[in-house]
Amino acid sequence: MLALETAPALRLPPIPVETVARPACPGPARGETAGQGRVTICLDARGQVRQVQLHLLDLCGVETLLEGRAIAEIPEAVQRLCGLCPVSHHLAAVKAMDRIAGYDRLTPTAEKLRRLMQYGQIVQSHAVQLYHLAEPDLLLGFDSEPARRGLVDVARAFPQLATEGVLMRRFGQEVVRAITGGRLPGAGAVPGGMRRPLPRAARDQLRADVDQVIDWAAGALRVLERLHGTNPAFYDHPAETGGNLLALVGASGAVDFYDGRLRARDARGATLFDAVPAAAYRGVLAEPSGPGGPHLRALGPETGWYRVGPLARLQVCDLLTSEKAETERQRLLAPGDGKPLQGSVFHHGARLVELLHAAELIRDLLDDPELLGTDLMADRGAPQREAVGVIEAPRGTLLQRYEVDEAGRIRRCTLLLSTRNNSRAMDAALQGVAAQYCDGRRVTEDLLAHIEVAIRAFDPCLSCAAHALGQMPLSVELIDAGGAVVSGLRRGADGGVSCCVRS
């Protein structure tokens, strides 16, 4: 067990234990199968692992639900698609609606308020993923008893670190609330600008707390570094994925969570394309609706699949603009010796570096007098019939494309979500796990646990929908060369494991 340093005195009030014990995020309502995931491991005639695939039970027909709505309704409607990153959905949609409504360039204050919302979302979401979902794996051990590997167990063993995680999440929520006046961001951005200015008192309160969040994030990186030092081979190589990398970067080559142009690198770090405007994404990305998933158009579905998200962002960019986070980025990537890191566990380190970066960006914005301005709406120009909104959501690049009719209602829309962008990368990671832990005869609890760890590293929307106290409803099936399910285990939301093969 680690001997954790005691953090400085808290400015924010403590969180009651009963609050910690509730599910980390609202997510959609749970039916019998909602929010569950299913992994199939297909064997060849020799009993060797041939193919592994994660089947996420997506909410189908989302685009259809949006079609026919007025453009003013879209930014608020899409925020309800995800319980973990509603701000990112909201801002991607409103960026597209800006252009459709005829607004080209926002006022400086409006853009800074939107960026502040997005950075608060990054802090909140990364804190949930790291401290509520991944921390049990990292601190209690990948091989610890699953029933005793939950958030409450972490809170008992590492109360200081658990409390810091909860309070960082709350800080991110408070950033969003200060701008919108509520938990959901729908009251925040509107086509062409923002609804309300940031109250000075709210700015002052956030400024008083943000340095503490930066210190906590920097301290957590040292804890993660010490964990890595206990078994470098294990943290470096499990669930390696390879594949290409995709992210938004700004004009300087730095990561830009709110805006930028698309850049892709291959698995060796070579640039495949750069400075592609979001509106032209269909020229470089193919998005088939069937199996195979999105891929780089020039490389095709077999070799063109790619990763998005924190680890991809930190390796696609040239730098981070905040001083402490850039130092930590270089430190995290050093083991790769100039080549991209492939181990899935590195996602957690990248996520923590991004949390630190977002907190530093929040501090810098809070020190900017222009943030308190009242000029919130841009001048309006000619409307457009089609537009694309893009943003770096906590889970990765999120693209939303809309077409409208003459009445200003959505005629067609396409949502290219972060989890879907990562679908082939998650399959590749699970292929590596199965190759190492599957004996070709049955699904064991050890195999199930390692598959869960690999999935959690990517933080797919599955976690959002179903994660509670570190438990993730998931079934794993072993299928022989004839197509018969020969073994299977299912972990329920209560953490219990049962057979999922019909006799």
| Cα 363 from Cα 213, distance rounded (Å) | 10
Q: What is the domain range of residue 215?
A: 106-238+344-378
Residue 354 confidence (pLDDT): 98
Residues 49, 178 within the same domain: no
Residues 146, 221 within the same domain: yes
Q: Write the pLDDT tens digit of every residue in 116-136.
A: 999 999 999 999 888 877 777
Residues 126, 196 within the same domain: yes
| Cα 329 from Cα 120, distance rounded (Å) | 20
| Cα 92 from Cα 103, distance rounded (Å) | 15
More confident residue, 464 or 201: 201
Averaged pLDDT for residues 166-190: 86
Assign residue 154 a region (left: φ > 0; alpha: ψ between -120 and 50; beta: otherwise).
alpha
* Number of domains present in the structure of the chain: 2
- Provide the token pair at 283: 């020229």
**Residue 12 clears pLDDT 70, i.e. is over it:** no
In a domain, 218, yes or no: yes
Residues 361, 448 within the same domain: no
- Provide the token pair at 69: 């709505």
Lowest mean pLDDT among 1-15, 387-401, 447-461: 1-15
Residues 51, 161 within the same domain: no
Query: What would the DSSP string read from start to end of 292-307?
Result: T--EETTTHHHH--EE
Break the chain down into helix, strand, coil percent, rounded to 5. 45, 20, 35
Give the contacts of 139 (CB within 8 A, at least 6 positions apart). 2, 154, 157, 158, 161, 227
Provide the CATH number for the domain around residue 234.
Answer: 1.10.645.10
Question: Is 237 assigned a ligand-binding role in the annotation?
Answer: no
Residues 149, 217 within the same domain: yes
Residue 370 confidence (pLDDT): 97
Give the contacts of 64 (CB within 8 A, at least 6 positions apart). none
In a domain, 116, yes or no: yes
Distance, C-alpha 13 to centroid of its chain: 27
Residues 45, 141 within the same domain: no
In a domain, 255, yes or no: no
Residues 353, 458 within the same domain: no
Question: Is 82 assigned a ligand-binding role in the annotation?
Answer: yes
N residues, the chain: 503
| Cα 135 from Cα 132, distance rounded (Å) | 6
In a domain, 311, yes or no: no
Question: Is 464 assigned a ligand-binding role in the annotation?
Answer: yes
Question: Is 438 assigned a ligand-binding role in the annotation?
Answer: no
For residue 280, what is the DSSP state?
A: G
- Provide the token pair at 4: 């954790």
Residues 372, 454 within the same domain: no
In a domain, 81, yes or no: no
Residues 232, 145 within the same domain: yes
Q: What is the 3-state secondary structure (H, E, C) of 466-480?
A: HCECCECCEEEEEEC
Q: Write the pLDDT tens digit of every residue in 406-463.
A: 998 999 999 998 888 998 898 988 998 999 899 999 999 889 888 888 888 887 766 4
Residues 471, 353 within the same domain: no
Q: Is the pTM of this model over 0.85?
A: yes
**Residue 335 clears pLDDT 70, i.e. is over it:** yes
More confident residue, 15 or 98: 98
More confident residue, 493 or 399: 399
Query: What would the DSSP string read from start to end of 426-438?
Result: HHHHHHHHHHHH-
In a domain, 5, yes or no: no
Contact between 331 and 349 under an 8 Å Cβ cutoff? The reply is no
* Share above pLDDT 90 across residues of the chain, in percent, rounded to a whole number: 57
Residues 138, 53 within the same domain: no
Question: Is 461 assigned a ligand-binding role in the annotation?
Answer: yes
On the CB side of 68, CA atoms within 13 Å amount to 3
In a domain, 19, yes or no: no
In a domain, 165, yes or no: yes
Averaged pLDDT for residues 133-140: 76
Q: Write the pLDDT tens digit of every residue in 263-321.
A: 999 999 999 999 999 999 999 999 887 667 899 999 999 999 999 999 999 999 999 99
